Amino acid sequence: MSTHQDKVIPNMSLPASRRQLLKNIAVSAAGAGLLSHTSFSNALEMTSSTSTDTPLKGNVLHSVSRWTYGDLSIAELCQTVKTLGFNAIDLVGPEDWPTLKEFGIDSSMCNGAELNLTDGWGDSQFHAQLIERYQRHIDLVADAGYTNLICFSGNKRGIDPQVGLQNAVKGLKHIMPHAEKRGVVIQMELFNSKVDHPDYFADNSAWGIELCKQLGSDHFKLLYDIYHMQINEGDIIRTINENHQYFGHYHTAGVPGRHEIDDSQELFYPAIARAIVATGFKGYLAQEFIPTPADKAGKIESLRQAIHICDV
C-alpha cells in the first residue's frame, strides 16, 4: 500500500529538501539508513535524560510528521517518540502501521489514498480514481483502529476557485457517507501557494471553511498548517479562535524556512498552542519542521525542544 512517499511524485511543486528527505525514508526502510544503529542509540541516550527531567503536561496531544525525520527508520522514530514522552506519528501508511502498533504509537494522520499533492478533489478529472482509492483506504484506516485520513485539494490548472470548490464538494460527497459509517475523519490540508505549492486550490482558510460548510459533515475537517497559513494569510490566532470548529488537526514549522519553531523565526508558538488548547481542541498538534542539525542527536534535540515549546 501507499505511504507519504507516494503522494510526492517527481512533477510536484515541493522544495528539493522535502523530496530528498522522502528518498531517505525509502533508504532507511530498506535497512540502509544514513546513520548507524550505534549512532542512533547514542543520540537517543543523549536526549533521554533531558526529556525525562521535564515531563509533558498532558494538555496537548503531540505528534511528528514522518517525512521530516526521514533519516530515521520507522522503528527508530517510534523509539524517539517514546523517549520524548509522546505517542503519535503523522503521515504513515499501512505498511508501517504494524511497526507503530508494536511500539504502541498512534498513526495520528494516515495517508496513502491520495494520488499526490497536485491532482486532487478540486479537479473533477481525478474524481473517479480518488473515490475508488478513498473508499478502500477508509476501510483500511478504520480496520486498523485509526481515525484521520489526509486529502488534498490539488492544483487549479486554470479552474476558477469557486468552480474548484463545487468540484470538491461533488467529489467528496461520494466518500463522506462511508467515512461517517466507518468513523473516519477526512482532513484536507491547507497549503501556501506563495512559496511551496503554486496554484494549489486550498491556499486560504476561507476556501477550506466554505468547503466544510457545504459538506456539512463532522467527519470532514481541515488540517490547519500554521506554517503554510502564516505565509499566505497570517492572522493565525484570530483565525483559530473564530474557526476552530472546522480544524481537526494542526501542523507546525518555523517561518520563514520551515525549520525549528524556536526564536529564530517569526511565529510565537507558545501563544498559538495556548490558543488551540483554549478552544477545547482534543486532536493532534504535529511538528512538521525540517530540523537543521546535521547530526542525529541534534535533530532529536530539535524535536524535543519543539514538543516542549508547544506543551502549554
Listed by start position, the domains of the chain span 4-310
Q: What is the mean pLDDT of residues 238-242?
A: 98
How confident is the model over 75-117, as pLDDT tens digits? 999 999 999 999 999 999 999 999 999 999 999 999 999 999 9
pTM assigned to the model: 0.88
Q: Averaged over 24-48, what is the pLDDT? A: 53
Which residue in this structure is represented by grid cell 525549528?
260
> What CATH number was assigned to the domain covering residues 4-310?
3.20.20.150
Assign 38 a pLDDT band (cuts: 50, 70, 90). Answer: low
pLDDT at position 281 is 98
Q: Around Cβ 146, how many Cβ atoms within 10 Å? A: 21
The pLDDT value given to residue 75: 98
Q: Which long-range contacts (CB under 8 A, 24 or more apart) does 241-247 make?
A: 241/275, 241/278, 241/279, 243/205, 243/209, 244/276, 244/279, 244/281, 246/208, 246/209, 246/212, 246/221, 246/222, 247/221, 247/222, 247/223, 247/281
pLDDT at 32 > cutoff 70: no
Q: What is the pLDDT of residue 54?
A: 81
Q: Which pLDDT score, from 0 to 100, does residue 53 have?
A: 59
| pLDDT-based confidence at residue 301 (cuts at 50, 70, 90) | very high
pLDDT at residue 34 tops 80 = no
pLDDT above 70 covers what percent of the chain?
Answer: 83
Nearest C-alpha neighbor of 87 from the set 66, 61, 113, 56: 61
Mean pLDDT (whole number) for 294-299: 96
**More reliable by pLDDT, 46 or 99:** 99
